[in-house]
Amino acid sequence: MSDAPSPQPSPARGEGAHSADRSSFSPLPLTRRLDRRPLVLLGALVLLGATMVAGIALGSVRVPLADVWAALLGEHEGARRFIVWNLRLPRVLLAALVGMNLAVAGTVLQAVTRNPLADPHLLGLSAGGALLAVLALHLDPATAVGNLPPLAFLGSLLGAALVYLLAWRGGVSPTRLLLAGVAVAALFGAFTTGLLLVSTLTIQAIMSWLAGGLYARSWPYVRILAPYWGVGMLAALLLARRLDVLALGDEPASVLGVRVQRLRAVLTGLAALLTGSAVAVAGLIGFVGLVVPHVARMLVGSGHRYALPVAALLGGALLVLSDLIARTVASPRELPVGIVTAAIGAPFFIYLLRRRT
Amino acid sequence: MSLAARALTLDYGARRVLHGMDITLRAGEIVALVGPNGSGKSTFLRALARLLRPSGGVVELDGRALAAWSPVRFARRVALLSQAHEPVEQLSVRGLVALGRHPHQGFLSLPSAADRTAIETALEQTALLPLAERRITELSGGEQQRAWFALALAQEPAVLLLDEPTAHLDLAHQFTVLELVVRLNQLRGLSVVMALHDLGQAARYAERIVILKEGTMLAEGSAAEVLTPASVRAAFGVEVEILRASTGVLVVAPLGRSGD
C-alpha cells in the first residue's frame, strides 16, 4: 500500500469502510474464508526439514544429498557416515530442539504476561542459569566445567522462582511479573559480569557459552535435552486453549472458568523448564524466543492451537539455519550462534513491524 | 435456577463498597441495577460473577455458596459481560466468540457440533456474521462490545450479568442488544441482571429495578413503584418528571440538578 492519499474519498459506509482494501476480507456474509492455517503449519514443517537437510549436508566438508540420505538410512560406510551421524545430525537435531524450546517458551510467556516484549531472557530465566554457571566456575572450576548443563538448568529454575516470588502479592499480575523479571535479569547480569571481571580464570570458555553456541555438541547433549523438549511441547499443546482464554485478560478468563493464578504458575514453570534446558545445552541464545512467536501469530493468528506448533517449527528452523551460518560463514572459525540469530532476527523483525503499519 | 445475595458486604481494602445487599434473582427474571457512578453496580455484578470474595454475607447459586462451586461448573451457569476489555491482538471475531465454549469443552476435546452451533447462533443473534473473520482490533468500539456480548451468549449461561451492555453502542444497536436479551429471556428462560444508565431503558426492559446509592439499596420493585421523582432525586440528585408514553412505557424526563 502506498502512502499517497487516495484520489477518491472512500465511501462513507460507516463501520466497515476501512476494510475494503483488505484482500483477505470477504464481503459476502456466508462465504467462510479458506482456513490456510494447516497450510502454514505444513510449510513450517517443510522449512524445518529443509534447513535440517541443509545443515547436515553443508559445512567444511560437503556431503552430497544422496550420501546424506544413504548415511541416515545406515547404508553408507566410512568418513561421511561418521560426519553425518556423529557430528552433523546430533548438532542439527540439538539446534532444532533448542530453537523449538525457546520459541514455545517465548510464545507462552507473551501470553502469560500479555506483553509482546516478553521473552525467556527478560524474565530472568537465562540470567539465573548464567550466574549459577559462572559462580560455580569461579568457586570450583574443576568440578564445574563438566557440569555446566545441570548448573545452568538449576540456575534458570531458581531465577524463575525468584522472579515469581518477588512478583507475588496475593497473586501475580502480568505487569509485576514482567517488571520483577527485568529487575532480576539486570541484577543477575551485573553479578555475572562482575564475577567474570574479578575471576582469575581464563574466561574464553564461559564467554563463548554465554554468547550461545552449539560447538562440538553431540549425542549426550541431545539426550539431556530431549525429555524436557518432549514433556514441554506436549504440555504446551495440551494447554493451548487455556492460553487463548488467559490472553483475554484475568477477569474474562475467570468468568470462563479458568483458575487464573494456578494456570499462570503452571505456564511460568513450563517456560522455565523449556528455557532452562535450552540454556543448559546451548548457552544464551537471544531473539528466537522474542521474534518467532510474533512471526507465528502474524501467520496464523493468536489461536495457540496453531500459533504454538508453527512457532516451534519456525524457531527450530531459525536456529538450525543460524547455526549453519555460524559455522560456515567465517570457517574455520565459528561465530556464536546467538550473534547470528540476532543478526537475522532483528532486521526481519523490524521489517515485519514496518510492514504492519 | 436461583441466584441470591444475602447480607452481602464487600470491601476494597479499608473502604466498604457494598453494605448488606439482599437480592434474590428468580429464574427467568430480568433485573436492572441503576444508580449514579460509584454506587457499586459493577462491584455487585462482579461479586455475583464470583470474581470478588464477599467480606461478609454470602452469594448463592442454587442454594450453594459461590466459593463451593467449581469454576468450570459455575462458568456453565453464569456469564458476565464487562464494560471494558483489554485489546486482543490477532484474533478474529469468530475466534473470540469460540472461547465462550471453553467451560463446555473437556481437557482435550475439539469443538463439537453443539459448540459450533452455539458459536454460529451467537454470531447471528448479534448480527456479527458478516464480520466473523475480521480481527477484533479492526472493529469499532461498538462492534467489539457486540463481539464480547456474543462470547457471553456462546457460553450459554442460565444467568447473564451485563455491566452497561449499551454503553458504547449507537441507538439502533442498543435496541438490538436489549431486545435480544428480552427474546432470550422469553425463549430460553434466561435470567438477567444488568446495570443500566438509562432509566427509561431500565423501566422498559426490566421486570424489577434496584436503585443503588453508595453501596446500599435505596429502593427495589417494579418500574412504577420505584421510579418516582423522589427516588431519582435521592439517588442521583436530579429533578425529573416521570411521564407515561402512549405505549404505556415510562419516560424519565430530566429537569435539572436538585437545589441544595
**Band (A3; pLDDT cuts 50, 70, 90):** very low
Out of B46, B71, B148, closest to residue A258 by CB: B71
- The pLDDT value recorded for residue A145 is 66
Nearest to B236 by CA among B256, B209, B206: B256
- The pLDDT value recorded for residue A41 is 94
Q: Is the pLDDT of residue A294 over 60?
A: yes
The whole-angstrom distance between B86's CA and the closest CA on chain A is: 6
The whole-angstrom distance between A267's CA and the closest CA on chain B is: 16
Q: Does A227 touch chain B (CB under 8 A)?
A: no
Query: In the beta sheet, which residues pair with residue B254?
Result: B240
Q: Using CA atoms, how far apart are residues A32 and A28, in angstroms rounded to an integer?
A: 9
> Which residues, 6 or more positions from A3, have their beta carbon under 8 angstroms from its beta carbon?
none
Out of A26, A251, A302, closest to residue B133 by CB: A26
Nearest to A268 by CA among A136, A122, A135, A61: A122
Q: State whether the Cα torsion A301-A40-A223-A150 is positive or negative.
A: negative
Q: Using CA atoms, how far apart are residues A336 and A342, in angstroms rounded to an integer?
A: 11
Q: Does A18 touch chain B (CB under 8 A)?
A: yes
64-123 in A: which are within 8 Å (CB) of B?
114, 116
Yes or no: say if A313 and A44 are a contact pair by the CB < 8 Å rule. Answer: yes
Q: Does A305 touch chain B (CB under 8 A)?
A: no
* pLDDT tens, position by position, A258-288: 999 999 989 988 998 898 888 888 888 888 9
- In chain A, the residue whose alpha carbon lies closest to the alpha carbon of B161 is A255
* pLDDT tens, position by position, A106-139: 999 999 888 888 888 777 777 888 888 888 877 8
- The pLDDT value recorded for residue A209 is 67
A332 cis-preceded (ω within 30 degrees of 0): yes
**Band (A319; pLDDT cuts 50, 70, 90):** very high
* pLDDT tens, position by position, A321-353: 999 999 888 877 888 888 899 888 888 778 877
Q: Using CA atoms, how far apart are residues A26 and B130, in angstroms rounded to an integer?
A: 8
Task: Summarize the confidence of residues A50-65 as an average pLDDT.
Answer: 86
Task: Summarize the confidence of residues A169-181 as an average pLDDT.
Answer: 86
Whole-structure pTM value? 0.86
- The pLDDT value recorded for residue A91 is 92
Please judge whether B143 and A245 are an interchain contact, meaning their C-beta atoms are less than 8 angstroms apart.
Answer: no
Out of A18, A25, A256, closest to residue B75 by CB: A256
- Reading the block at residue B193, the C-alpha cell is 441482571
Q: Is the pLDDT of residue A28 over 60?
A: no
Count of pairs with CB atoms under 8 A, one residue in A, one in B: 87
- The pLDDT value recorded for residue A6 is 42
The whole-angstrom distance between B127's CA and the closest CA on chain A is: 10
- In chain A, the residue whose alpha carbon lies closest to the alpha carbon of B153 is A256
**Band (A201; pLDDT cuts 50, 70, 90):** low
Q: For cell 490472553, what's the residue?
A: A247
Select from B76, B89, B110, B140 the residue whose CB has the most chain A CBs within 10 Å, as the one to mutate to test that interface: B89
Q: Does B89 touch chain A (CB under 8 A)?
A: yes
Q: Does B106 touch chain A (CB under 8 A)?
A: no
Please judge whether B134 and A26 are an interchain contact, meaning their C-beta atoms are less than 8 angstroms apart.
Answer: no
Alpha carbons within 13 angstroms on the beta-carbon side of residue A200 total 2
Q: Does B108 touch chain A (CB under 8 A)?
A: yes
- The pLDDT value recorded for residue B246 is 84
- The pLDDT value recorded for residue A8 is 43
Q: Using CA atoms, how far apart are residues A35 and A300, in angstroms rounded to an integer?
A: 9
The whole-angstrom distance between A191's CA and the closest CA on chain B is: 37
Select from A25, A107, A256, A263 the residue whose CB has the most chain B CBs within 10 Å, as the one to mutate to test that interface: A256
Burial of A42 (0-12, 13-18, 19+ CB in 10 A): exposed
Amino acid, res. B188: R
Question: A114 in helix, strand or coil?
Answer: coil
- The pLDDT value recorded for residue A33 is 58
Q: Does B76 touch chain A (CB under 8 A)?
A: yes
Run means of pLDDT, 10 residues per run, chain B, 260 residues: 91 89 93 93 94 93 93 95 84 93 86 92 92 90 90 95 89 89 91 93 93 92 89 90 84 81
Please judge whether B99 and A116 are an interchain contact, meaning their C-beta atoms are less than 8 angstroms apart.
Answer: no
Out of B91, B95, B134, closest to residue A19 by CB: B134
**Band (A34; pLDDT cuts 50, 70, 90):** low
Instruction: For chain A, give the mean pLDDT.
Output: 82
- In chain B, the residue whose alpha carbon lies closest to the alpha carbon of A259 is B71
